[in-house]
Structure formats: C-alpha cells, structure tokens
Amino acid sequence: MPTLDMDAAAALAQHGTLIDSRAAERFRGESEPLDPRAGHVPGAVNVPSEGYLVDGRFRDADELRRVFARVGAEPGAPVGTYCGSGVTAAHTVLALHEIGVESAVFPGSWSQWSNHADRPAATGEN
C-alpha cells in the first residue's frame, strides 16, 4: 500500500485530495478527545467513515462513487487518506480501491501531525 509521510501529506492536501475520515466535529476542531491539538491538516477534506458505511458495510459502488467524487476523489486523481491513528484511513483506502480510486495512506495521521507544534492545524469546514 502506498504511504505518505507528513511532508507528502501536506503537499497532497494542496495539490490533490487528502481525505480526513474522522468524525466531522474532530475535523472541524470542535472536539479532540485523544490528541494534543484539535483540527485537521490544512487543505484536507472531510469524509467521515460513517458517510460511506451502512451497518458496518460499504455502501454500494454507485453511492461510494458519489460520496468520494464530491471531494475530488476519482480514478486517476492524486488521493491520500488519514484519520486519527491510521486505522480508519486504511479502511478508506479499501473503500476507494473498491471504486477504482487508488490512494495512499498517511499512517501517522492526525496523532503524528498534532504532536508536531511546527505543523499548522486548520479548523472549521475547510
């Protein structure tokens, strides 16, 4: 599985689609129960995992395509994923793979990013 380090994730967020699959309130910086700082990688977009799951299973392929196309994640586009610790990000990579979108995971995810005070943290919807 292709992976991203912090620098590659930052670059992808500016020149591709970097998906944060945490809950919306964590993405927006309204709540952070685990990590030292709230927010998200600047330029990332939010697709919470519950947006592409139904009863713990992936939505059908057409719905997955709609969910991810809304944020620019389509076949051939540069796409990466992260979450809090990397687990849900890997799950998101699988959902994308199911619809023909190849992506990379940032395994350090928000836990790594938020532990580096020199890395900016964005809040709000964008």
| Residues tagged active-site | 83
CB 101 within 8 A of CB 79: yes
Sign of torsion over alpha carbons 75, 80, 84, 86: positive
What's the first-to-final CA gap in the chain, in angstroms?
27
CA distance linking residue 91 with residue 97, whole number of Å: 10
Please state at what angle helix 61-69 crosses helix 87-98, rounded to 10 degrees. 110
Between CA 74 and CA 109 the distance in angstroms is: 22
